[in-house]
Structure 1
């Protein structure tokens, strides 16, 4: 179970690094009030000041038949918790949660030999963000402070259930619900992978890959960034 052992730090470089560099039992959760070197995909810096909820947990590779959809599945689990609080979040393929066009959560999945380290950053109680970030927090949206430990435990409860179902039934069980909550589905987008590709975001397949309808035919992307064409949402 995720959270049977928990380490809560006032500050660290990144919760991901703690789990990757030291030996912990599977299911361990490392939480930090602040991260000096919080990061997202592609090594991007994750704004990790006081007020956010930053945690990572440890999974065993052999427990999962498929790892490719894991970022989407974890993001979906966090989305369910945010929905429970009365918000209407959406999933941005492949690993983000947005509300009203602004990011409230990011997920990072990294494999290190036989273990998988999953990092989650949730914008919980921050009162402001740098103007160059398309980000918001639950506090900024509702003017209500969330109790961090309670929010974490509720999120872990959902993630435990979702991940157990993912182990048993695979991604196909979640695909319909995730499709309903995907940003840009059916719209013209730009996918940034090795190079920008324009097309219609047609669907996600049974592995969680993005299917893009282009002039050259249907293309499949396992990773990358997707943005509505002509917008600055990344």
Structure 2
């Protein structure tokens, strides 16, 4: 197994209710930057909007604690970083590294089916980020059913890696991208996301609390917001969910 980057620790548990719930408690108690918590199985995994994340053995369930020296307004950048890093880490285990696509804001797709997802949670104090917890789940060996969604796993396309090997690959990729973000700003990360995102001009349907918007994809704004061209012009969306297949 590959080595972790300097400064990182990987804690592996046989079973946890939720890796993110544990790491949130540790973050609040002052745990230093660079801890990753992985569970072989979760009993109460969760995704966006409190949705249940099915967590059978054989898949990757991991949360990472970061304490970036950055303004609170940049918290959303870490969600982009998590998605790009997870896509690149998982791509190492596939015959076609470019096959993984990104669905805004937090899904990874393979062959149009959901392969992985992410939840980014953060705390701020005095206008600065106090901590960021990236919770990531990826289907390595098993593709749990999701109502109304097609799902897939690495094993359907290539031999599935052990979850700990995938965890080390992910931590290494997150570490590399956080250094790029610190040294070069958000530009390279936005470019990397958009290379795996929808094709420019694709027709997308976005659902928000205000209703449904249909428009042509015009990329990401400079802070990672989704840009859609509608009859009323280009609109910017910081939150929402793309309809299934809308990418």
Q: TM-score, normalised by structure 2?
A: 0.85
Q: CA deviation at 1:97?
A: 1.0
Equivalent-residue separation in structure 2 for 1:33 and 1:119 (angstroms): 14
Distance 2:139 2:172 in 1: 19
In structure 1, the residue matched to 2:171 is: 156
Q: Matches of 2:186 and 2:175 in 1, distance apart? A: 15
- Written as runs of structure 1 = structure 2, the 5 A alignment for 1:85-104 is 85=93, 86-87=95-96, 88-104=99-115
Structure 2 residue 14 is matched with structure 1 residue 14: no
Report the TM-score when normalising by structure 1: 0.89
Mean CA deviation greater in 24-33 or 58-67: 58-67
Does residue 49 of structure 1 match 2:56?
Answer: yes
Report which stretch shifted further, 101-110 or 2-11: 2-11
Q: Is the 8 A contact 2:205 2:246 kept in 1?
A: no
CA distance in 1, matches of 2:241, 2:174: 24
Alignment partner, residue 123 of structure 1: 139
Is the CA contact 1:209–1:221 (under 8 Å) kept in the aligned structure 2? yes
Q: Gapped runs of 5+ residues in structure 1?
A: none
Give aligned pairs, total: 229
Tell me if structure 2 keeps the 8 A contact 1:3–1:156: no
Structure 1 runs (4+) deviating above 6 angstroms are: none
Cα RMSD (Å)? 2.1
Q: CA deviation at 1:58?
A: 0.7
Question: Which one of the candidate residues 81, 103, 111 is aligned to 1:73?
Answer: 81
Q: CA deviation at 1:61?
A: 4.6
Matched, 1:107 2:118: yes
